[in-house]
């Protein structure tokens, strides 16, 4: 267990290593990214074992949601790094002759990444890819709620990455509290909004910029789809993404479905069939669904269902086994909106279906609640599509699918309002860990002689022309052919 003094000494050493310029060159950054690629390749089996132990994840789920995505992201960063690191020229007006302007990205310095337990590798290493690509030194604090994954990271990262530049600090809330009190050049935090407030308040003491990734109640709006093929695909995507990704314990999992009342029974039947096909007769035996991470969350979810009005609305599933921390995929039809189930982020395999008279009513429904991290809309209706984008606010909107936006390298991944601030993934990761420095280079040759005091009306008039980029006006003034303005 590290003492505060140890921590401060370590951080001081990391800052000195950074100041020595060791992490700035492209070759160092590439070597780190390649190190990560090798790690993901060589340690896949151990990572799978850790995910199985901590969360009961199936190896295919682990690959789909974490390992595969990380390989993709690391390779993407390697391919783009040169372009990301290069200075970008900025356009200047003619009046600024013999001057060049550019924006140069530079690392921020010493950064802190705090990750969550549900995608313990993905949420630790995806930000790490960005931080390293941007040339920073990094402290990573994985979640203690996924202890095997945390200790695997602590053991394995030093073997593949530069140990002077990347450190893993393990521990619980007390350790996190200690960490956030330090001075960082950036903090990227994934977790709950409650803890996010504490992180930002601590960051304020040092004017540390933050990226905060939370969650929220991500709605899926299911419009009436005329083709049965489309209905099947929609249901497959809804049910598949909800129950097969960490058993619904995901920030971008569909929290609840909104559907027109007249369509709800069809939807329910389709869902039941699909769940059966996905997980078989006995979902617990199928081992294709992750388990609830720990007793605390198991009891939290159990309590959500104990509300008698909520219990009465269960139309499928509902069985639980505390010993194996297993909760069956459970569907509820119109549970009461004031229930905790419909007020708090569910983060588990419970799927409420909310029915409304008209699908357009879903817009007001969504807007009367905190802005979610993701909004999903299944529709062919072009005007509904446009209204959804224009009239609601969320981190992202995905049409006709769910969760897949996470894998897109060209889209910013982040929330708004209660679902977070800032974003990352792809170039956005590089940018979030960089300072974009403005650089202007002037020549000694050209200057406007009227730049300097003593001041007079003539000089003022010249300046007026310059600022309007009125070259003709300026010429006329110089030639004495244009009078100064009065006053």
CA nearest 165: which of 275, 61, 266, 19? 19
Does residue number 63 form part of the binding site for other proteins (CB under 8 A)? yes
Does residue number 478 form part of the binding site for other proteins (CB under 8 A)? no
d(CA 470, CA 308): 75
**Given the complex with other proteins, which of 175 and 397 has the nearer CB atom?**
397
Tell me which of 444, 479, 480, 481 binds other proteins, using CB under 8 A.
Answer: 444
Min dist CB 157 to other proteins, Å, is: 22
Q: Is 435 exposed, middle or buried (0-12, 13-18, 19+ CB in 10 A)?
A: middle
Continuous H helices in 358-456: 361-367, 382-391, 427-432
Does residue number 487 form part of the binding site for other proteins (CB under 8 A)? yes
**Given the complex with other proteins, which of 19 and 295 has the nearer CB atom?**
19
Tell me which of 357, 383, 441, 481 binds other proteins, using CB under 8 A.
Answer: 441
Tell me which of 423, 429, 432, 477 binds other proteins, using CB under 8 A.
Answer: 423
Please work out the total of residues on this chain that contact other proteins, with binding judged by CB under 8 A: 101
**Given the complex with other proteins, which of 152 and 247 has the nearer CB atom?**
247
CA nearest 110: which of 175, 189, 165, 191? 165
Residue 350 β-bridge partners: 330
Tell me which of 17, 53, 263, 463 binds other proteins, using CB under 8 A.
Answer: 463
The DSSP annotation for 2-39 comes to: --HHHHHHHHHHHHHHHHTTTTTSHHHHHHHHHHHHHH
Q: Which of 213, 260, 328, 345 is catalytic?
A: 213
Does residue number 473 form part of the binding site for other proteins (CB under 8 A)? no
d(CA 66, CA 426): 15
d(CA 117, CA 66): 12
Residues of span 151-170 touching other proteins by CB under 8 A? none
**Given the complex with other proteins, which of 238 and 310 has the nearer CB atom?**
238
Min dist CB 218 to other proteins, Å, is: 13
Q: What are phi and psi of 326, to 5 degrees?
A: -110, 135
DSSP letter, residue 360: T
For the chain, helix, strand, coil in percent to 5 are: 50, 20, 35
**Given the complex with other proteins, which of 104 and 476 has the nearer CB atom?**
104
Residue 213: active-site member = yes
Q: Long-range contacts: 410-414, Cβ < 8 Å, 24+?
A: 413/213, 414/211, 414/213
**Given the complex with other proteins, which of 6 and 457 has the nearer CB atom?**
457
Q: Interior CA angle at 136 toward 47 and 146, to 5°? A: 25
**Given the complex with other proteins, which of 221 and 279 has the nearer CB atom?**
279
Q: Which of 149, 218, 246, 251 is catalytic?
A: 251
d(CA 136, CA 228): 51
Residue 251: active-site member = yes
Binding letters toward other proteins, positions 327-366, x by CB under 8 A: ----------------------------------------
DSSP letter, residue 211: E
d(CA 43, CA 240): 27
Does residue number 81 form part of the binding site for other proteins (CB under 8 A)? no
Min dist CB 155 to other proteins, Å, is: 25
Residues of span 297-316 touching other proteins by CB under 8 A? none
Tell me which of 20, 163, 173, 280 binds other proteins, using CB under 8 A.
Answer: 280
Binding letters toward other proteins, positions 379-398, x by CB under 8 A: ----------xx--xxxxxx
Residues of span 107-136 touching other proteins by CB under 8 A? 108-109
Residues of span 179-238 touching other proteins by CB under 8 A? 185, 193, 196-197, 200-201, 203-205, 207, 209, 212, 227, 229-230, 233-234, 236-237
Active site residues: 213, 251
């Amino acid at each position: 267990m590290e003492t505060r003094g140890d921590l401060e000494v370590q951080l001081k050493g990391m800052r000195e290593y950074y100041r020595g310029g060791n992490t700035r060159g492209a070759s160092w950054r590439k070597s780190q990214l390649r190190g990560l690629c090798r790690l993901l390749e060589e340690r896949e089996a151990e990572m799978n074992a850790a995910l199985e132990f901590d969360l009961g994840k199936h190896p295919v789920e682990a690959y789909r949601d974490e390992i595969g995505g990380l390989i993709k992201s690391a390779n993407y960063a390697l391919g783009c790094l040169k372009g990301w690191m290069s200075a970008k020229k900025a356009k200047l007006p003619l009046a600024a002759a013999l001057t060049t302007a550019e924006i140069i990205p530079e690392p921020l310095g010493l950064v802190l990444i705090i990750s969550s337990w549900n995608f313990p590798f993905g949420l630790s290493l995806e930000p790490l890819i960005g931080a390293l690509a941007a040339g920073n030194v990094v402290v990573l604090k994985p979640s203690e709620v996924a202890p095997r994954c945390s200790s695997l990271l602590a053991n394995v990262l030093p073997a593949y990455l530069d140990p002077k530049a990347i450190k893993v600090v393990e521990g619980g809330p007390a350790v996190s509290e200690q960490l956030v009190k330090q001075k960082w050049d950036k903090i990227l935090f994934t977790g709950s909004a409650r803890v996010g407030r504490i992180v930002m308040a601590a960051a304020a003491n040092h004017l540390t910029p933050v990226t905060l990734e939370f969650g929220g109640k991500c709605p899926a709006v299911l419009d009436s789809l005329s083709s049965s093929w489309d209905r099947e695909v929609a249901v497959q995507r809804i049910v598949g993404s909800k129950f097969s990704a960490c058993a619904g314990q995901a920030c971008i999992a569909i929290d609840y479905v909104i559907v027109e009342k007249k369509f709800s029974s069809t939807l329910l039947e389709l869902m039941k069939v699909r769940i059966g096909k996905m997980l078989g007769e006995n979902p617990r035996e199928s081992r294709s669904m992750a388990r609830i991470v720990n007793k605390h969350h198991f009891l939290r979810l159990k309590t959500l269902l104990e509300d008698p009005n909520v219990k009465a609305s269960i139309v499928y599933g509902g069985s639980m086994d505390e010993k194996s921390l297993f909760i069956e995929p459970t569907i509820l039809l119109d549970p009461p909106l004031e229930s905790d189930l419909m007020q708090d982020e569910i983060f588990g395999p419970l799927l409420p279906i909310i029915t409304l008279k008209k699908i357009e009513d879903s817009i007001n429904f969504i807007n009367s609640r905190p802005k979610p991290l993701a909004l999903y809309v299944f529709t062919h209706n072009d005007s509904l599509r446009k209204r959804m984008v224009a009239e609601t606010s969320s981190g992202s909107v995905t049409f006709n699918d769910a969760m897949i936006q996470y894998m897109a390298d060209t889209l910013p991944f982040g929330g708004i309002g209660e679902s977070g601030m800032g974003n990352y993934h792809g170039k956005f990761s590089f940018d979030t860990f960089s300072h974009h420095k403005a650089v202007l280079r002037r020549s000694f040759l050209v200057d406007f002689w009227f730049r300097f005091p003593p001041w007079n009306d003539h000089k003022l008039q010249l300046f007026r022309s310059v600022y309007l980029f009125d070259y003709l006006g300026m010429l006329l003034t110089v030639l004495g052919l244009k009078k100064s303005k009065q006053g």
